[in-house]
Amino acid sequence: MADKRTRRPRRTGRARNIPWILWPFAAVWWLVSSVLQLTGRLIAAVLGLVFMIVGGLLTATVIGAVVGIPLMIFGFLLMIRSIF
C-alpha cells in the first residue's frame, strides 16, 4: 500500500531494505529484542499480580484502603498493559 502524500511504499515491521551482508546482524538484533520484549511483558504481568495482591491485603485493613485501592488499580492496569 502506498502512502498518499509521498507515493512511496510503506515500510512495516521487518520488511526493511537490509543489505545481505548485514542480514545476520539484523537477525540477531531482532532475536535479542524479541526476547527482551517478552521478558519485560512477563515481569510486568508478575508485578501487576503482586501489586493487586498487596493492594487487596491493604484494603482488608480499613486504614490501608487509602493506599490499597489505588495499588490494586495500578496492578490491574499493569497486567492489562502486559497483555496488550
Tell me the mean pLDDT in the region 18-31: 89
Residue 73: all three cell numbers together: 488499580
Q: What's the whole-model pTM score?
A: 0.64
Assign residue 8 a region (left: φ > 0; alpha: ψ between -120 and 50; beta: otherwise): beta
CA dihedral 26, 27, 29, 33 (to 10 degrees): 130
Q: What does the pLDDT read at residue 44?
A: 92
Per-residue confidence band for 12, with pLDDT thresholds at 50, 70 and 90: low
Tell me the mean pLDDT in the region 32-52: 91
Tell me the mean pLDDT in the region 65-76: 92
Please check whether residue 68 is in contact with residue 58, taking contact to mean a CB–CB distance below 8 angstroms.
yes
Q: What does the pLDDT read at residue 54?
A: 94
CA distance 19 to 27: 12
